[in-house]
Structure formats: structure tokens, C-alpha cells
A and B are shown apart, each in its own frame.
Chain A
Amino acid sequence: MKIIKSSSSGSLESNDLLVFVSPNSGVKIEIDSIVKLQFEKSIYETILKVLEEFEVKDVCIKIEDKGALDFAIFARVKTALLRAGEEK
């Protein structure tokens, strides 16, 4: 999938996260989380899993996490990518 525009998904409610996606050269991920110290690596891996599933090679992803679990991170990143992307 090719990212052709900026988009976002999710919210800043507890247990949720806000995801911003925009076109980029290469993969850039920025994570801000209330549990960054404990779960940054895990959040990062979940994001990479979604990128792999949708074959996204060039994207900038910024997230503001409010304690979301993996399933919500996956779903919100997926939604933001689909809103910003164009199937190859």
C-alpha cells in the first residue's frame, strides 16, 4: 500500500490512542505513551506488524497512546493507513 495523504484515527480517551499517518520516504515511527517506559518496544512491534501486513514501506507514523492494548493499537494504525493509502 502506498501512503498518498495524511490521515488520523483513534482518540485521546483512556485505553485508546491517536494515530497520525503521513507520506514519507522510508519508515519513521514516533511514539508518545503514558506507558512508554514499559511498553514502547511492544507498541513499536505492533505497528511494524500492521505495516508488514499492508506492505507499507514509506510512511511517517506518530502516535499518542493513552494506555491502549495491542488489539486497539493494531486497529487504529490499520484504520489510519487505510484512510491514507492507495492499494498498489
Chain B
Amino acid sequence: MKGLKRSFLFIPGNNPGMVQTADLFDADVIIFDLEDAVAQSEKDSARNLIIQAFTTYKYKNCETMVRINAVETEDFELDIEAVCRFELDYILLPKATVEDIIVLDKKLEMMNSSTEIFAIIESAIALETAFDIAKASKRVKGLLLGGEDLTADLGVVRTKEGLEIQYARNRVAVVCKALGILAIDTPYTDVVDEMFLVQDSEEGKRFGMMAKASISPRHIETIHSVYAPSSKEVIYAYRVLCAMKQAKKKGFGVFSLDGKMIDSPIVKRAERIYQLAKKMGLKVSGVEYDA
């Protein structure tokens, strides 16, 4: 759903069937992939396909993102020139470093592009400098944890339980919270055995992730259900906001609910949950949404 950012679905940039139906997968953000999903010999073909797709279609039901090739590759400049030829919401930069973000930012500036950036954190050095990466440009609106490459870099085995990426999840989430940007969890990569998909999605959310990437359209529904606020959360958020309105009317600066003092972070969280529930059209007994 456009406007929400719960799910980020990768689709191969050189697959016409998926590119033309990208709008129908129900993902909040579609990532047209020019990097790992495209063979080196077909990079030019994928760029041309995406240019033509964006020239032809308006993706009205989702936001759009292109994962370009890394700054160090010869395809980087060609990718930037390609994506600056059409209206695109975000660029996803793989193998991000502080220097890379600065290079990309300057390149976009030169091209007079207002496109915003999401960066993939997928190496030990990127994880340890995630704060600086996110601060390297005002265009950076979120970080995506790349669990597969990160564990390869760390030399550890990637498991479905995900114990090996707990610290990374936590760190990326904390950095993003600190800077007020979006933390996106690594995709669940098994498209055959989906038994662990719910557990994996919940694990990310527990560590503070605000959205999840996906490599399969079949995962989107589960991701949305995990990242949807529960009825209990929506009711509490609504009560907090109602109590705040009452307090304001009475001229109170601070107020309490159920005997607990409500401060600014709780109000912010309530506002976020309420707006999310409103956008999703969640029907919760006793909760009314503003027009």
C-alpha cells in the first residue's frame, strides 16, 4: 500500500513479466534490482527494460526503488544515468560505506535529482559505521540489513533461527531510531520452506526493525500481518491521543493514563501506531479515525 513502508519486495530488473506486474504484488515498496538478480552480461538489458517500464507505467499502488550496482563497479555510473531519466522514489545502494554515500549524493546533486537513498548494511565495517553512513547525506532515509552478505563477511553460518544476526539487527535498529530513519530487516531467503518466515519477521520486529525486505511476493502478506499493530496497541494508542487532547483542552502540560505519566516518546509512538492503523484501515472496536 502506497504511503506505508512495511514491506520491500525485490524483483529482478531484467524480468519483463515481474516488472510489468510489480504493482500487483501488494508490497509497499518495490525494489527493481539491477545488482545481484541480474547477470553481468545483462546489466545493459535490465537498465533499458527498467527505463522503458517507468516511461510506460505509473506504479500507483506502491513506492518505487531501484537497487543499483555498487559504487566501485563500472555499472554504477550507467545505473545512475538510467534511473535519473525517470521519476523514482528511492535508490538502494548496496555495499554502502560513508565514502560511497558521499559519491552517490554528489552524483545525484549533479544530475539535479531529488531521489532519496536507502543504504544496505552488509559488511562488518558497514555495521560498525552505520551511524556515519546514515549521516553522510540528508538523502539517506533508511538502512536495510543485508544478512546474507554480512554473515559471509563475518565468516559465520547463516541460520533460520538468526542468532548470528541479532547484534546486527539491534545495531541497525538503534542507529535508525537515533536518526529518525527507517530500519528494514533482512529478507527471509527460503522461498520453499516458509515455516520460519513468521518467526523471522517477528524476530526483526522485536529488535526494533520497522519493515522487512522480501525476495518473494508470497512473503508479503505475512510481513504485513507481523508489522501491523495489534488491536491492543491501536486501542492504547487511541486512548493516549484522546487523553492528550483532553489535557490540552484543560491546559495541562502533562497528563497521565491508567495512573502512568504519559510523556513525549509515548505520544509519538501512539501517533505512529494510530496513523499506521488508519492507513491500513484496521477496524478496531472503540477506535475512530480522523477524516
* CA distance in complex: A72, B49 (Å): 6
Which listed residue, A13, A69, A79, A83, touches B15 by the CB 8 Å rule?
A: A13
Given A9-B45, A79-B45: A72 in contact with B51 (beta carbons within 8 A): no
Given A14-B17, A15-B20, A69-B20: A74 in contact with B44 (beta carbons within 8 A): no
Residues of B within 8 A of A82 (CB): 44, 48
Residues of B within 8 A of A76 (CB): 45, 48-49
Residues of A within 8 A of B53 (CB): 71, 75
* CA distance in complex: A78, B45 (Å): 9
Residues of A within 8 A of B57 (CB): 71
Given A13-B15, A14-B17, A15-B16: A71 in contact with B44 (beta carbons within 8 A): no
Interface SS majority for chain A: helix
* CA distance in complex: A79, B44 (Å): 7
Chain B residues with a Cβ closer than 8 Å to the other chain, count = 15
Q: Which of A55-88 contact B (CB under 8 A)?
A: 68-72, 74-76, 78-79, 82-83
Which chain A residue shows the least CB distance to B16? Answer: A72
Residues of B within 8 A of A78 (CB): 48, 52
* CA distance in complex: A33, B20 (Å): 19
Question: Is A16 located at the chain interface by the 8 A CB criterion?
Answer: yes
* CA distance in complex: A78, B48 (Å): 8
State the B residues within 8 Å of A (CB).
Answer: 15-17, 19-20, 44-45, 48-49, 51-53, 55-57
